[in-house]
């Protein structure tokens, strides 16, 4: 039983002598994780295999073992046989084996945990950069001073491998010319040549014209502006967009040959969005300063709150002192913001209705609504409004009078009822016997029942996962904990099932007990989770299984072959003549060809076979349940014949070929790594001999 546990555990297990570190035992997970076979590991010392990246950490571990005889969750990094780094969480203890003191160590692979930590670190630095840019945008600086500081923040980010070199351009008033306003370590010839760039010229101009991120990994003909002695480099050129307008371009430098990364673009897009808000805010601020003086004298004396805002989006141009007194927002906090960003209107549709009425009759008097103050208080107001033209823009002048006290009592009940009925989540009031007492409109809409039908039903009628017994247990738990959060499923009136998240709350009202539950449809979230699972095991370009999924299937296939004494084949396929096409016509064309090739190759394979993309123009196939070597040979001929057919893409036609290496289990190797290695070597042998395919040589 112990042997079975050691052989099947996913964690690496190793027993080594305490004195000289000589390895006495390793389990299969050790060979899989660290890539050493039993023969290569057993009998060698830990030092000879050079497993520990930090020898100091190993000494620390042994010291702790000497003190306590047992160590848990000791994080360290190890070299694998193929010189990769494996982060692991190690547990160790002393045991006696054949009369000698030995160390039993178990290593759990924490690569996934490290990746999550890295993602969190990256997200933190993104948010830190965005927050810092927003902070300086609110300081009394000119637009150029703000952008100089913002560029330094971007280029100083510790998460992204950009060079400390870059530039920021803003769009001039003509709408089709970029002006250099900030740069860092930009060569003097470029400072002069790039001072003003028409849209469409050089990389930055083309990014502005196309409104898309442009990336290059070397200096090529797309660099229309160059100079003698220019150093090799690459670029991200990111347009700064605000709605339909291009406000500027952010240009960052990367090392020559740098690979384009999705996380870089995520960071730069977020930066560009924040820069767009900053530029728009600063320009609006400049405009507001011009109009503030002439407007302030008119309205400063009135006791009612007076505002002037842009009709289109509610952008504030002016507020009088009474507005500050009534709603607690200072001019600095209000001007340049919109009614939406300040979340002033308790019912945003009221503003829409008021403007609609204004369009009909020209002015509005005594429009009743509710406005939210900075402190979060809701004020009932009478609003009078009219439209004016100011500097070419249609604006709204409003005068608001506080009538809160008059409406407070009658509105308390109405507001409570309104909140329940109009919340986006489905709300259920449920009695202790699981009968549904009350539901809101969202609950009716989500399940397709009218309210009178739902309130005649029980939880078991709408939730197939709940039996009466489970409900009783859940009710007792809710009474104890007061709040519960769980996932379940709901069944609509038409019989369809959908996943939900339930936030249950225990309440007592009027001497009765209730479960007041918020229910949210999480179908989209579940679909996203499934998509993430799929992407983790499939190639993004071709949709084929990726290396991880292929290795998993190969390991399972080897286990079945070992059990059933059958044969399998690993076929390593490399495209001939693909690189020249990819280099000459670009990656986009190459990607389209790879997608066509993947479809054709997949159509040749049996349903029981697995075809995967290993990277670049390399594919690998797994054939199982083979009776002889003829089947993989025939499949290799078939695949080559399919690839040799001309490929058409647009007006171009391409001729490709393939070199295929074949390794057989058990004839050539018994492990997945060895099979792939031999198939790879056989593929290169086939390529060198100009053969379609070549079987592996197990003597290699």
Six token digits for residue 561: 């072959």
Could you give the angle at which helices 262-299 and 111-137 cross, rounded to 10 degrees? Answer: 30
Does residue 609 have a pLDDT over 70?
yes
CATH code (residue 512)? 3.30.450.20
Six token digits for residue 1: 């039983």
pLDDT in tens, 541-551: 889 999 999 99
Q: Is residue 30 part of a domain?
A: yes
- Are residues 694 and 662 in contact, defined by beta-carbon separation less than 8 angstroms? yes
Statement to judge: residues 379 and 463 lie in one domain: no
Statement to judge: residues 87 and 193 lie in one domain: no
Give dist(CA 498, CA 489) in Å, integer. Answer: 6
Does residue 362 have a pLDDT over 90?
no
- Are residues 601 and 539 in contact, defined by beta-carbon separation less than 8 angstroms? no
Mean pLDDT of the 182-209 span: 87
- Are residues 204 and 178 in contact, defined by beta-carbon separation less than 8 angstroms? yes
pLDDT in tens, 514-526: 999 999 998 888 8
What is the per-residue pLDDT for 288?
Answer: 64
Statement to judge: residues 663 and 590 lie in one domain: yes
Smallest CA-to-CA distance from 313 within 290, 330, 293, 336 is with 336
Smallest CA-to-CA distance from 324 within 350, 348, 342, 340 is with 342
Smallest CA-to-CA distance from 568 within 632, 652, 617 is with 632
Statement to judge: residues 389 and 497 lie in one domain: no
Give dist(CA 129, CA 190) in Å, integer. Answer: 27
List 569's β-bridge partners, or say none.
623, 664
Displacement of CA 302 from its chain's centroid (Å): 51
Which has the minimum average pLDDT: 7-21, 260-274, 402-416, 563-577? 402-416
Give dist(CA 660, CA 662) in Å, integer. Answer: 7
Containing H/E element for 632?
Answer: helix 630-644
pLDDT in tens, 6-41: 777 788 899 989 888 899 999 998 999 899 998 998
What is the per-residue pLDDT for 632?
Answer: 95
Which has the minimum average pLDDT: 169-173, 361-365, 512-516, 661-665? 361-365
Contacts of 608 (CB under 8 A, 6+ apart): 624, 625
Give dist(CA 71, CA 66) in Å, integer. Answer: 10
pLDDT in tens, 405-448: 766 645 554 665 676 667 778 899 999 999 999 999 899 999 99
Please report, in angstroms and rounded to a whole number, the separation of the first and last CA atoms in the chain.
Answer: 37
Q: Is residue 181 part of a domain?
A: yes
Q: Examine the fold and report which residue of 284, 309, 327 is the final residue of a domain before the chain moves on.
A: 284
Mean pLDDT (the chain) is: 87
Mean pLDDT of the 343-359 span: 91
Q: Is residue 350 part of a domain?
A: yes
Statement to judge: residues 129 and 230 lie in one domain: yes
Q: Is residue 667 part of a domain?
A: yes
Which has the minimum average pLDDT: 415-429, 505-519, 520-534, 574-588? 415-429
Collapsed DSSP state (helix, strand, coil) of residue 198 = strand
Give dist(CA 271, CA 255) in Å, integer. Answer: 20
For the chain, what is the domain count? 5
Statement to judge: residues 494 and 553 lie in one domain: no
Confidence of residue 479 (pLDDT cuts 50, 70, 90): very high
Give dist(CA 5, CA 24) in Å, integer. Answer: 18
Give dist(CA 472, CA 459) in Å, integer. Answer: 11
Q: Examine the fold and report which residue of 467, 499, 525 is the final residue of a domain before the chain moves on.
A: 525
Statement to judge: residues 12 and 94 lie in one domain: yes
Domain that holds residue 179: 117-284
- Are residues 94 and 101 in contact, defined by beta-carbon separation less than 8 angstroms? yes
Q: Examine the fold and report which residue of 251, 284, 317 is the final residue of a domain before the chain moves on.
A: 284
> Side by side, which strands form the sheet with 657-665?
610-615, 618-626, 567-576, 657-665, 693-695
Question: Burial level of 484, CB count in 10 A (0-12/13-18/19+)?
Answer: middle
Statement to judge: residues 280 and 427 lie in one domain: no
Statement to judge: residues 146 and 168 lie in one domain: yes
Displacement of CA 145 from its chain's centroid (Å): 32
Q: Is residue 290 part of a domain?
A: no
Q: How open is the CA angle 368-371-375, to the nearest 5 degrees?
A: 155
Select the more confidently predicted residue: 134 or 505.
505
Q: Is residue 291 part of a domain?
A: no
Select the more confidently predicted residue: 419 or 99.
99
Question: What torsion do the CA atoms of 46, 47, 51, 52 make, to the nearest 10 degrees?
Answer: 110
Q: Is residue 342 part of a domain?
A: yes
Q: Is residue 162 part of a domain?
A: yes
Statement to judge: residues 165 and 240 lie in one domain: yes
DSSP 232: P
Smallest CA-to-CA distance from 167 within 251, 271, 264 is with 251
Give dist(CA 340, CA 350) in Å, integer. Answer: 12
Confidence of residue 202 (pLDDT cuts 50, 70, 90): confident
Statement to judge: residues 601 and 559 lie in one domain: yes
Mean pLDDT of the 604-619 span: 92
Strand-pair category, 657-665 with 693-695: parallel
What is the per-residue pLDDT for 296?
Answer: 56
Give dist(CA 377, CA 372) in Å, integer. Answer: 6
What is the per-residue pLDDT for 299?
Answer: 64
CATH code (residue 189)? 3.30.450.40
Does residue 295 have a pLDDT over 60?
no
Statement to judge: residues 515 and 403 lie in one domain: no
Give dist(CA 519, CA 528) in Å, integer. Answer: 19
pLDDT in tens, 649-679: 777 888 888 999 999 999 999 999 999 999 9
């Amino acid at each position: 039983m112990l042997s079975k546990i050691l052989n099947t555990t996913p964690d690496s297990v190793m027993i080594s002598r305490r004195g000289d570190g000589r390895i006495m035992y390793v389990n299969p997970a050790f060979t899989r994780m660290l890539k050493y076979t039993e023969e290569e590991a057993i009998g060698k010392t830990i030092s000879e295999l050079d497993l520990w990246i930090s020898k100091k950490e190993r000494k620390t571990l042994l010291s702790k073992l000497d003190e306590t005889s047992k160590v848990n969750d000791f994080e360290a990094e190890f070299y694998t046989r193929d010189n990769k780094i494996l982060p692991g969480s190690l547990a160790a203890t002393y045991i006696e084996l054949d009369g000698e003191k030995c160390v039993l160590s178990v290593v759990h692979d924490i690569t996934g945990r490290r990746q999550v930590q890295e993602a969190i670190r990256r997200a933190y630095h993104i948010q830190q950069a965005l927050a810092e840019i927003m902070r300086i945008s609110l300081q009394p600086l000119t637009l150029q001073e703000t952008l100089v500081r913002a560029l330094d923040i971007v280029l100083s980010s510790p998460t992204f491998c950009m060079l400390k070199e870059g530039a920021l351009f803003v769009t001039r008033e003509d709408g089709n010319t970029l002006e250099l306003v900030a740069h860092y370590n930009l060569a003097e010839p470029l400072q002069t040549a790039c001072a003003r760039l028409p849209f469409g010229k050089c990389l930055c101009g083309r990014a502005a014209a196309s409104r898309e991120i442009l990336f290059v990994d070397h200096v090529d003909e797309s660099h229309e502006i160059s100079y003698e002695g220019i150093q090799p480099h690459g670029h991200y050129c990111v347009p700064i967009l605000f709605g339909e307008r291009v406000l500027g371009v952010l240009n960052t430098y990367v090392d020559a040959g740098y690979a384009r990364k999705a996380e870089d673009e995520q960071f730069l897009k977020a930066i560009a969005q924040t820069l767009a808000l900053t530029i728009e805010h600063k320009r609006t601020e400049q405009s507001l300063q011009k109009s503030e003086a002439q407007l302030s004298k008119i309205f400063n004396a009135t006791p009612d709150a007076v505002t002037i805002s842009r009709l289109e989006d509610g952008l504030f141009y002016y507020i009088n002192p009474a507005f500050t007194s009534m709603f607690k927002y200072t001019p600095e906090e209000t001007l340049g913001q919109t009614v939406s960003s300040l979340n002033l209107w308790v019912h945003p549709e009221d503003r829409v209705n008021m403007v609609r009425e204004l369009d009909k009759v020209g002015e509005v008097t005594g429009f009743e609504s509710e406005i939210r103050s900075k402190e979060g208080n809701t004020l009932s107001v009478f609003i009078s409004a009219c439209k004016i033209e100011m500097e070419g823009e249609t604006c709204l002048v409003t005068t608001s009078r506080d009538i809160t006290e008059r409406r407070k009592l009658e509105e308390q009940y109405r507001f409570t009822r309104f909140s329940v009925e109009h919340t986006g989540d489905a709300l259920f009031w449920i009695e202790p016997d699981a009968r549904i007492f009350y539901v809101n409109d969202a609950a009716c809409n989500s399940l397709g029942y009218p309210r009178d039908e739902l309130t005649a039903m029980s939880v078991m009628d709408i939730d197939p996962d709940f039996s009466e017994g489970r409900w009783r247990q859940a009710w007792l738990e809710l009474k104890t904990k007061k709040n519960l959060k769980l996932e379940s499923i709901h069944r609509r009136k038409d019989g369809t099932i959908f996943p939900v998240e339930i936030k249950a709350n225990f309440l007592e009202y009027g001497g009765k007990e209730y479960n007041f539950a918020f229910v949210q449809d999480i179908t989209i979230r579940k679909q996203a989770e499934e998509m993430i699972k799929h992407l983790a095991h499939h190639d993004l370009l071709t949709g084929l299984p990726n290396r991880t999924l292929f290795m998993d299937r190969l390991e399972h296939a080897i286990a079945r072959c070992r059990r059933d004494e059958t044969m399998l084949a690993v076929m390593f396929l490399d495209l001939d003549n693909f690189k020249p096409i990819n280099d000459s016509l670009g990656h986009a064309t190459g990607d389209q060809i790879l997608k066509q090739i993947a479809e054709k190759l997949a159509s040749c394979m049996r349903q029981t076979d697995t075809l995967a993309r290993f990277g670049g123009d390399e594919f690998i196939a797994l054939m199982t349940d083979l009776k002889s070597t003829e089947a993989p040979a025939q499949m290799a001929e078939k695949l080559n014949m399919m690839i040799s057919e001309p490929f058409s893409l647009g007006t171009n036609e391409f001729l490709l070929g393939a070199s295929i290496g074949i390794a057989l289990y058990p004839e050539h190797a018994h492990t997945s790594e060895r099979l792939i290695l031999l198939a790879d070597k056989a593929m290169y042998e086939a390529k060198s001999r100009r053969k379609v395919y070549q079987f592996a040589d197990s003597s290699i």
